[in-house]
Amino acid sequence: MKFTTMAATVALAIGITGAQAEPVKVGMITTLSGGGAGLGIDVRDGFMLAVKQAGNPDLEVIVEDDQRKPDIAVQLADKMVQSEKVDVLTGIIWSNLAMAVVPSVTAQGKFYLSPNAGPSALAGKGCHPNYFNVAWQNDNLHEAAGAYAKETGYKNSFILAPNYPAGKDALTGYKRFYGGDLAGEIYTKLGQTDYAAELAQIRASGADSVFFFLPGGMGISFLKQYADSGIDLPVVGPAFSFDQGILQAVGDAALGVKNTSQWNKDIDNEANKAFVEAFQAEYGRLPSLYASQGYDTANLLLSAMAKADVKDADAFRAALKEADFASTRGDFKFGPNHHPIQDIYVREVIKEGDVFTNKILAAALTDHADAYAGECSM
């Protein structure tokens, strides 16, 4: 009797480790050099923090730099799938790179967990059972900005974004919830650093507000030049031009600007407090939303690894779909197209001591899902 119990325990133990011990190899392709490096580094650092905290010996992560170039991202993905034999890919920041990589790796049976890019093409008709977006569908933060603009009573917005997939998603998203007139709509060049021409158009347009989506260095340039131009229309934008990494470079020009984000360091839950503290202790800086997305992506992966074997694709997919992890955003679940259903907040840029950061004002949209879920059949 005792022997059988013991045997059963052993069998159970073997059974459990059998599910876990199959190592999971993760290939992270992200931007670590060039203009957009701050974003990729934050995603990587957030991801690796969660990996380190979990201390799971069965998880191996390979990190490679895509230099923000689609051709390099494709080469890296091929290498990771064919010679490194990874099970899961993640890490891509930019939508144009995601469009070049994701459809091909998911078609080869690999899982892709997106810690940032969420192009509409992958959320609607192009959705895939093995593609999970842990950040947002591209339109989401812009939809929240549109909702905020409508609520605040803006009637005549001037809107601008770079000419690439995420830029188009941005303006579409804003317009979907905003509902007012447009004083102007401009697509700028991706990577553009001088906005004098656009600012002159804004000034001449008679707009009552400005919405812009210019991630990274483009946003820094725009905000500095906006402040210097003497135009004093209210500005609203998604968090991408107001994240922790770039606020210090914008300085006073960003103070008081309203921006929308699914995450902020003051969201009140245990997971988030622990994350902000651990991130600061590990890297000596405040985390950005990108870091929180990387951290959540790793924790999602770890939660699925605890439940299923990655070689059993159906079980692993089901485990991912449950999203059974403590997100830094609080409530988090996946919609039918494997994109998040989550709250999106309006934040304001403030100065805490010497450091520029954000505080949450209110929720702009609650339990918000994306507009493309209905087009997805899987």
Partner 1 sequence: MSFLLLIEQVLNGLQFGIMLFLMAAGLTLIFGVMGLINLAHGSLYMIGAFCAAAVAAATGSFLLGLVAALAGAAAAGALVELVVIRRLYDKDHLDQVLATFALILIFSEGTRWVFGSFPLFLDVPDFLSGPVTLPGGIEYPLYRLALIVVGLLVALGLYLLISRTRLGIQIRAGENDREMIAALGIDIAKLYTIVFALGAALAGLAGALVGAIQSVQVGMGEPVLILAFVVIVIGGIGSIKGALVGAILVGLTDTLGGIFLPEALKLFLDPSTATSVGSSLASMAIYILMAAVLILRPAGLFGARA
Which residues 178-207 are close enough to bind partner 1 by CB under 8 A? Answer: 185-189, 191, 193-194, 196-197, 200-201, 203-204
- Cβ distance to partner 1 smaller for residue 201 or 303: 201
Write out the chain in H/E/C secondary structure: CHHHHHHHHHHHHHHHHHHHHCCEEEEEEECCCCCCHHHHHHHHHHHHHHHHHHCCCCEEEEEEECCCCHHHHHHHHHHHHHCCCCCEEECCCCHHHHHHHHHHHHHCCCEEEECCCCCHHHHCCCCCCCEEECCCCCHHHHHHHHHHHHHHCCCEEEEEEECCHHHHHHHHHHHHHHCCEEEEEEEECCCCCCCHHHHHHHHHHCCCEEEECCCCHHHHHHHHHHHHHCCCCCEEEEHHHCCHHHHHHHHHHHCCCEEEECCCCCCCCHHHHHHHHHHHHHHCCCCCHHHHHHHHHHHHHHHHHHHCCCCCHHHHHHHHHHCCCCECCECCEECCCCCEEEEEEEEEEEEECCEEEEEEEEEEEEEECCCCHHHCCC
Instruction: Give the shortest CB-351-to-partner 1 separation in angstroms.
Output: 13
Tokens of 180: 């007012």
* Whole-number Cα distances in Å, 256 to 138, 349, 361: 24, 5, 11
Residue 249, interface with partner 1 (CB under 8 A)? yes
Tokens of 249: 């470079």
Length of the chain counted residue by residue: 378
Residue 114 β-bridge partners = 133
Residue 217, interface with partner 1 (CB under 8 A)? yes
Residue 220, interface with partner 1 (CB under 8 A)? yes
Residue 69, interface with partner 1 (CB under 8 A)? no
Instruction: Give the shortest CB-213-to-partner 1 separation in angstroms.
Output: 15
Residue 246, interface with partner 1 (CB under 8 A)? yes
Instruction: Give the shortest CB-67-to-partner 1 separation in angstroms.
Output: 9
Instruction: Give the shortest CB-163-to-partner 1 separation in angstroms.
Output: 5
9, 82, 108, 163: which one binds partner 1 (CB under 8 A): 163
Residue 283, interface with partner 1 (CB under 8 A)? no
- Kindly write out the interface string for residues 99-118 of this chain, putting x where it contacts partner 1 by CB under 8 A and - elsewhere: --------------------
Instruction: Give the shortest CB-134-to-partner 1 separation in angstroms.
Output: 22
- Cβ distance to partner 1 smaller for residue 177 or 290: 290
Interacting stretch for partner 1, rule CB under 8 A, among 9-17, 22-30, 225-233, 312-320?
225-233
Instruction: Give the shortest CB-35-to-partner 1 separation in angstroms.
Output: 4
Residue 41, interface with partner 1 (CB under 8 A)? yes
Interacting stretch for partner 1, rule CB under 8 A, among 141-149, 226-234, 324-332, 343-351?
226-234
- Kindly write out the interface string for residues 253-282 of this chain, putting x where it contacts partner 1 by CB under 8 A and - elsewhere: x-----------------------------
Residue 225, interface with partner 1 (CB under 8 A)? yes
Residue 359, interface with partner 1 (CB under 8 A)? no
Residue 14, interface with partner 1 (CB under 8 A)? no
Residue 221, interface with partner 1 (CB under 8 A)? yes
Q: How many CB atoms lie within 10 A of CB 154?
A: 22
User: Would you tell me which residues interact with partner 1 (CB under 8 A)?
Assistant: 32-35, 37-38, 41, 163, 168, 185-189, 191, 193-194, 196-197, 200-201, 203-204, 216-218, 220-221, 224-225, 228-230, 245-246, 248-253
